[in-house]
């Protein structure tokens, strides 16, 4: 049983050390008062229902460092936990646990917050053939970790950044004179392994994008009725992504239009922290 | 008029470059389709009421890079803006603006979210002699930036981390046998420039902490009535910090107990993003 | 006129500083013998026909640093130059020029070597609707720069790495039992913006990959005749990439099979340096 | 039996991580489809005769990470292998092997290419009392690794950079008015542990350099006959280095002139990759 | 028994690697002449009386790396040793020991120098209720390590830097018009966890600072008689720090004035190295 | 007039930023109380006679940042100054000057301390044909800067580290059986540009080292009489370096033995800080 949901998010160790340095700085002024022999029995407990994410950070921080110390993981990333569940527990040097507790919890709370919110969107479209995906509206420095948390919550990822997918917006279209010209220009420079998405605001634009063989068509801020009509007209001709105006009240109606993908910015820019804390026995 | 509210948060340039690298990676696949001569007139607009924070990032990213390019700041960090207000505007190379837009907005949205939430707490205690302060429950990697955002929102900072203030909790007390022994042990190792705070859960503990000359006493998860009684009993003998159970409904009642400081974890772990977007003319 | 062929390869400044540090270490022992006032008129000359790449590095190193110093670029990245052509020339502080000369030339020689070899492959398929693309067989640490050099030489890029495209090989197929199962499993985890390529060694595998809607099909080490037959059978159903056994003698015959893309490992793992040197007047 | 030929090239681990990051980026999109329990039996095979270099990188990447995994090295850096020889083999987690294969091979192919080319020059002067040495014409970022590969191939190193040896060229001579003045000026500033080499283009310059007690005299682009005459005249008075016009056809004649050292730029700027690939059982 | 006196100084491993890189650079040219099987029995011996500091660095460098190698620590940081005492001893690979010896000794000599000088000041005030503390006058890059050495020598730390304590000097007072205005302005911006110190040059300033509730008052370059009078007048009202004109001849008289803290710049800017060397058996 | 004595010590900017970060951390708590418009007229004054070193750091920190700000350098690195001399002066933003003052002074005091001590040794051997050189006994992290300071003080450098010169000690001799065998083994592996020094403890060892063509012979802890006899016997056959027992009382007698080089560890491990401070007008 691995701490990570699928492959580890690359770069996580460096982010962990950078985060720890933020908190510890030149040293934990209070921890010095404990004897190095003192150990403590600790538990991390969920205080509300959540989809778990970030246990790998907690495990790396609080894992056993010498004889008599241990760590036991009860749940792993992607698991759904309820208020009162013990997520991780163990025994370790008292001063170490107190120094590392906050960093471990900050990762767990932040990332489980994203996973939990994603899980609510995924639940809302249960049974429908649609993906909930994230956007590039992420918290600075947390792109890779938040996208991992979205996967833990049952969502999928949109492109990771500007480098692994092309997105043609109105500015690009204006610069090239037409959607077909813009798609052709971009296709000419990008790899044959790069997909091209076109942001469309009308049925006419959608038709033009499909004619230009756009790999993905974004239906930008359209009403469910409009989206349903467009999807019905072009079923199987491209991949449709709905974007804009998505919240927990509207997402199911949007999913029912038949779009393949719904992108939700708030998954990563406005998730509130999951409640977890540490208890000592 | 500087972009920053007081001194710049140290380290911000490195965090900016690290964040930009997350998004741009090996290059913006779509931007290559613009001529280097093409320029665009852009505006960043608030889409809801907010306390602004992060304009220094936007200015560093979108500032003029050659003749004919310009940037004009209409509001600065700490200013309150309303939906529809133009925060920053300018003209710059089209491909640059499109490449940098998302990173600039992600900083603005994340940090203004924290400043805006702080502003709501500060408003809630208006007229009372109390500080709203943050905690160490921050989003990983954003400690310094979020604490800056709290200041922009009218709040104050608690200690930055484990290294610039001592906090004695129940574990420390248990390890040393009593509050007075714990305070003495910590005082013996820390600098004469370090303040010592003691977490107290009862009136008895408060009395003991004050007798031990604790610089700050935290009233942990107490009812307003209990806090008011304790503060009345010990007025002027130490600095009182209320912690636990603080939200926008309860904060004024807590402030009215006479405590000096109210610490609020959600300022930094659960602020939702402020709404800002970029428009082109 | 910019030094770069399209957008700058991201990260180039850090690579430049790291490379300069390799050579200069704790200081140029010989350069100290020149007066700081001494300046020198320098030229970088091509000693053989080449497609130029890396002038941005030379410009960053040798550009004017004070009054009376200047740099003039005669050719830019992507230009074809002949033996004897002056590529860049200028005047600068003598000790600086001598200290930086080798680093500037090492970038120019290495990257122009890749661009020049790419240009020969591109010439060899002139007039045919096919792309010459690189692979992941790059010199360690030079992935991004070599891929840029391929573009300068008229080629296109394959995926940049393991993160911006999926490639299903025989191991993946074996692990999942069939091409269709492997494609389905990969599609289920990757973004809707990710293309999936399948390595095929027979016409049967090609048919199965196309049935599984592979975005790209690699024809691995097949004879031109086999490739031509396969392409004829499935024209328009996917993108065909020829791989294996490609050299300057075979590439045109391979291109004539009708494949869309030919990938060539030697572009980046076995290009010899272009000849350029610095002269002083 | 160590993976390295003599001491490890310092800094190799950082270069390995930087190189791996180039390829893996935000994660291997295809590897996620394997179960973590799946393991694979792999072999790295030479596909042509070569002098091996870089096995330490392959071992660090593919070494056993858990029970049941193993790695066995059949040859070490500096060994000569033939087409078909198995260089390294082992068993490891399938997804890991597929993710790391290309980085391991890229190091092996690049560095064995340099060692193999060096070996051919060393063979060409077999039996003669002369060293084949490299130059500063190295591939950016690979200075230390390529110099290590030259040693693996039986060659020796020239100075590593501008900091560990002084080289007086025509510009330095012109700046100081004479070879003797230039040598004196440089000797006055450098350490008593620093050797001074003088580039000479005529017998007269050689005589002047020797009179100035140059530690090493470079015979720059001279004919073998001229070099032989100069060496005969000054035998034992300094160390002679031949430079310019060196290739596999000319190197033995140059060695027979009696020079002590022959420097060859192409060892490091124009070695083609050695052929090695990975096979699975 | 830990190598460190209390918690490890954070960041020490990175400083160790950076320091080792200074010395080893591209490799130890002389070490290559030993067989990897050769091992050596080494001892680090004190050559003069000293307070030890830095054994953690020596242990990290010279600790056992394979079977048959060992390291034994005889003294730990903070211990007082006499000339001839063996501090650490062990057996390790000969080439490793010779490569690492100088870096290990440089840390031990530099840090033990600071600890030893601190110990002499602490001895000089033995029996008096006063702390010897350091200042910000530290050797560049060694702030954290030197402050750790001061603690090893029996001293205490002043603030670590500009970020963990506020210090009001004459410029601040002039800018705000009065001590009370300056203290109020600073208190308004800093955390409730931050102490404020005021530099005073007269009894009047001291009275004003105490009235403004300064946490610490610095008596700057005052005579012992003046300090004694001031302390007597304000006993218990603040913390008094003596600064200026402190040396081993004057420190006891200063301590006898009743000040709480004496800060000594020379502890960190002018400690001479302790004498330690390595012997082989 | 440049701030640096000869070429800048490479890497100084990174060391400056790292040092500044030590002091400023998360921000200067006290500086926030100044208006950004407030400027101050500052001077850095020598408080004792010294050889100056480090003005480049001060200039980089305190140089003019906007209109009305200025910096004027009165002395440069390597100059001898007397108590009371103004070294640098200028006008700059008050909060900036106060934040940067200590870092600037710490560099100046530390490096001028080394230069000043070197100058005293150089003065002590005035008129004799001998070099005062440093050793590898440097303060951690300051190798390159301290070696630069030695040059500013009129001394010369020994090798910079283990990588730019070979030193054969008793362990190497024992491992190879004889001095001649050890020299031959080392010469066989190092570059033809590398000098080899042999540590000798007797006249017999010196004779053997010279017979083995050692480039430099170290006379280790010998009496002046012994050194004089050895130098007389072997004049012109190698370079002689005296080491051990060197202090300001003994150095002239050692120089009079005729050795070429005297190495002095205390230059870099035990220099006390030069006295400089900042004044405001």
List C-alpha distances in Å: C90 to C40, C64, C279. 8, 8, 11
Tell me if B146 is assigned to some domain.
yes
Evaluate whether D223 touches D183 at the Cβ level (below 8 Å). no
Tokens of F221: 């802890």
**Strand ranges (E), chain C:** 39-46, 50-51, 70-73, 80-81, 86-93, 131-133, 166-168, 196-200, 216-220, 239-243, 261-263, 276-280
Tell me if D69 is assigned to some domain.
yes
CA angle (A161, A162, A166) in 5-degree steps: 115
Least Cα distance to F4 among A86, C32, B245 occurs for C32
Q: How many beta-carbon contacts under 8 Å exist across E and F? A: 195
Instruction: Give yes or no: residues C143 and C41 share one domain.
Output: no
Instruction: Give yes or no: residues A54 and A144 share one domain.
Output: no
- Domains in chain D, number: 2
Q: Note the pLDDT tens digit of each residue in F72-98.
A: 999 999 999 999 999 999 999 999 999
CB distance from B169 to chain A under 8 Å?
yes
Q: How far apart are CA F101 and CA C35, in angstroms?
A: 32
Q: Note the pLDDT tens digit of each residue in E119-175.
A: 999 999 999 999 999 999 999 999 999 999 999 999 999 999 999 999 999 888 988
pLDDT of A2 reads 64
Contacts of D25 in chain B (CB under 8 A): 25-26
Q: How far apart are CA E158 and CA B192, in angstroms?
A: 7
Backbone angles phi, psi at A143, to 5 degrees: -45, -55
pLDDT of F2 reads 64
Evaluate whether B196 touches B216 at the Cβ level (below 8 Å). yes
Instruction: Give yes or no: residues F235 and F142 share one domain.
Output: yes
Cβ count near A143 (within 10 Å): 24
Cβ count near B98 (within 10 Å): 24
pLDDT of C1 reads 45
Per-residue pLDDT of chain D (281 residues; tens, 9 = 90+): 467 888 889 999 999 999 999 999 999 999 877 888 889 999 999 999 999 999 999 999 999 777 889 999 999 999 999 999 999 999 999 999 999 999 999 999 999 999 999 999 999 999 999 999 999 999 999 999 999 999 999 999 999 999 999 999 988 898 889 999 999 999 999 999 999 999 999 999 999 999 999 999 999 999 999 999 999 999 999 999 999 999 999 999 999 999 999 999 999 999 999 999 999 98
Nearest Cα residue in chain E from B159:
E193
Tell me if A2 is assigned to some domain.
no
Asked about C260 being catalytic, the answer comes back as no
* CATH code for the domain of E73: 3.90.1170.20
- Can you give the residue range of the structural domain that contains C140? 125-269
Instruction: Give yes or no: residues A87 and A48 share one domain.
Output: yes
Evaluate whether F179 touches F160 at the Cβ level (below 8 Å). no
CB–CB contact A31 E7 (8 Å): yes
Candidates D20, D29, D134: best to mutate against C (most CBs of C within 10 A) is: D29
CA angle (D263, D267, D272) in 5-degree steps: 165
Q: How far apart are CA F134 and CA F264, in angstroms?
A: 5
Backbone angles phi, psi at D261, to 5 degrees: -140, 140
Least Cα distance to E275 among E82, E145, E97, E3 occurs for E82
Tokens of B3: 């972009």
* CATH code for the domain of F225: 3.20.20.70
Cβ count near D124 (within 10 Å): 18
Instruction: Give yes or no: residues F217 and F139 share one domain.
Output: yes
The single-letter DSSP state of residue C32 is: G
**pLDDT band at F104; cut points 50, 70, 90:** very high
CB distance from D21 to chain A under 8 Å?
yes
Contacts of B95 in chain C (CB under 8 A): 7
Comparing CB atoms, the residue among B27, B32, B36 nearest residue C10 is B27
Q: What sections of F153-235 are H helices per DSSP?
A: 170-176, 179-189, 203-211, 224-233
Q: How far apart are CA C62 and CA C278, in angstroms?
A: 12
Backbone angles phi, psi at D277, to 5 degrees: -145, 170
Evaluate whether B163 touches A24 at the Cβ level (below 8 Å). yes
**Strand ranges (E), A94-243:** 131-133, 166-168, 196-200, 216-220, 239-243
pLDDT of B224 reads 97
**pLDDT band at E1; cut points 50, 70, 90:** very low
Nearest Cα residue in chain C from A197:
C193
Nearest Cα residue in chain E from F279:
E171
Instruction: Give yes or no: residues F44 and F154 share one domain.
Output: no
CB–CB contact F171 E138 (8 Å): no
Instruction: Give yes or no: residues F147 and F255 share one domain.
Output: yes
Active-site annotation of F, residues = 102, 137, 169, 199, 220
- Backbone Cα Rg of chain A: 23
Backbone angles phi, psi at E188, to 5 degrees: -65, -25
Instruction: Give yes or no: residues F133 and F69 share one domain.
Output: no
Among A31-35, A111-115, A156-160, the least confident range:
A31-35
Tell me if F3 is assigned to some domain.
no
Query: What is the DSSP pairing of strand B39-46 with strand B276-280?
Result: antiparallel
Residue with tokens 């990897």: E36
pLDDT of B1 reads 45
Asked about C147 being catalytic, the answer comes back as no
Contacts of F243 in chain D (CB under 8 A): none
Asked about B102 being catalytic, the answer comes back as yes
Tell me if F230 is assigned to some domain.
yes
CB–CB contact A26 E160 (8 Å): yes
Q: How far apart are CA E58 and CA E79, in angstroms?
A: 15
CB–CB contact C192 A131 (8 Å): yes
List C-alpha distances in Å: C51 to A18, B198, C149, C250, F89. 43, 70, 9, 22, 53
Mean pLDDT of F40-66: 95
Q: Is the pTM of this model over 0.90?
A: yes
Tell me if C3 is assigned to some domain.
no
Residues, chain E, total? 281
User: Is residue A3 over pLDDT 90?
Assistant: no
CB distance from D14 to chain A under 8 Å?
no
Cβ count near C79 (within 10 Å): 18
State how far Cα B94 lies from the chain centre.
33
Nearest Cα residue in chain F from B164:
F26
Q: How far apart are CA B179 and CA B207, in angstroms?
A: 10
Contacts of B26 in chain D (CB under 8 A): 25
pLDDT of C32 reads 75
The 3-state DSSP class for residue A46 equals strand
Q: Distance, in angstroms, between C9 CA and closest chain D CA?
A: 13
Q: Note the pLDDT tens digit of each residue in C188-230.
A: 999 999 999 999 999 999 999 999 999 999 999 999 999 999 9
Q: How many beta-carbon contacts under 8 Å exist across C and E? A: 3
Tokens of B63: 């500032």
Chain-wide mean pLDDT for chain A? 95
Which residues on adjacent β-strands are paired with residue C24?
A: none
Comparing CB atoms, the residue among D19, D164, D269 nearest residue C140 is D19
Instruction: Give yes or no: residues F115 and F130 share one domain.
Output: no
Tell me if D2 is assigned to some domain.
no
User: Is residue A1 over pLDDT 50?
Assistant: no
Evaluate whether E209 touches E234 at the Cβ level (below 8 Å). no
User: Is residue F1 over pLDDT 70?
Assistant: no
CB–CB contact F2 C95 (8 Å): no
Helix axes B203-211, B179-189, angle to 10 degrees: 40
Tokens of A195: 């997909």
Nearest Cα residue in chain C from E23:
C26
Q: Note the pLDDT tens digit of each residue in E102-120.
A: 999 999 999 999 999 999 9
Residue with tokens 């008052």: E217
Q: How far apart are CA A23 and CA B165, in angstroms?
A: 12
Instruction: Give yes or no: residues D95 and D174 share one domain.
Output: no
Residue A48, CB-side half-sphere exposure with 13 Å CA sphere: 10
Among A106-110, C2-6, D209-213, D235-239, the least confident range:
C2-6
**pLDDT band at B2; cut points 50, 70, 90:** low
A17 Cβ neighbours under 8 A, 6+ residues apart? none
pLDDT of C67 reads 81
State how far Cα D9 lies from the chain centre.
11
Rounded percentage of chain B residues whose pLDDT exceeds 90: 90
F232 Cβ neighbours under 8 A, 6+ residues apart? F258
Residues, chain F, total? 281
Tell me if E228 is assigned to some domain.
yes
Tokens of A250: 């509207």
pLDDT of F65 reads 75
Evaluate whether A47 touches A7 at the Cβ level (below 8 Å). no
Least Cα distance to D33 among C167, C199, A78, A163 occurs for C167
Mean pLDDT of A66-85: 94
Residue F52, CB-side half-sphere exposure with 13 Å CA sphere: 28
Q: Distance, in angstroms, between A265 CA and closest chain D CA?
A: 20
Instruction: Give yes or no: residues C75 and C134 share one domain.
Output: no
State how far Cα F275 lies from the chain centre.
18
pLDDT of C31 reads 84
Active-site annotation of A, residues = 102, 137, 169, 199, 220
Instruction: Give yes or no: residues A207 and A145 share one domain.
Output: yes
Helix axes A94-124, A55-62, angle to 10 degrees: 170
Q: How far apart are CA D15 and CA E26, in angstroms?
A: 13
State how far Cα C236 lies from the chain centre.
28
State how far Cα A130 lies from the chain centre.
17
Q: How far apart are CA B200 and CA B209, in angstroms?
A: 8
């Amino acid at each position: 049983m691995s701490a990570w949901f699928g492959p580890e998010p690359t770069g996580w160790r460096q982010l962990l050390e950078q985060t720890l340095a933020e908190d510890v700085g030149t040293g934990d002024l209070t921890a010095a008062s404990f004897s190095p022999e003192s150990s403590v029995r600790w538990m991390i407990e969920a205080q509300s229902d959540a989809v778990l994410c970030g246990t790998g950070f907690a495990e790396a921080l609080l894992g056993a460092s010498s004889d008599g110390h241990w760590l036991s993981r009860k749940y792993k990333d992607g698991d759904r936990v309820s208020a009162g569940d013990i997520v991780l527990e163990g025994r370790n040097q008292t001063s170490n646990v107190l120094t590392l507790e906050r960093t471990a919890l900050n990762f767990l709370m932040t990332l489980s917050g994203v996973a939990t919110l994603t899980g609510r969107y995924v639940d809302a479209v249960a049974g429908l053939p649609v993906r909930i995906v994230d956007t590039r509206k992420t918290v600075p420095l947390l792109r890779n970790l938040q996208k991992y948390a979205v996967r833990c919550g049952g969502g999928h990822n949109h492109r990771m950044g500007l480098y692994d997918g092309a997105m043609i917006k109105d500015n690009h279209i204006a610069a090239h004179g037409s959607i077909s010209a813009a798609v052709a220009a971009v296709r000419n420079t990008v790899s044959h392994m790069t997909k091209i998405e076109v942001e469309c605001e009308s049925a006419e634009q959608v038709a033009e994008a499909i004619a230009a063989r756009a790999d993905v068509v974004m239906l930008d801020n359209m009403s469910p009725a409009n989206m349903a009509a467009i999807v019905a007209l072009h079923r199987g001709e491209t991949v449709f992504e709905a974007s804009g105006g998505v919240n927990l009240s509207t997402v199911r109606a949007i999913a029912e239009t038949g779009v393949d993908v719904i992108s939700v910015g708030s998954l990563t820019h406005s998730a509130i922290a999951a409640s977890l804390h540490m208890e000592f026995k």
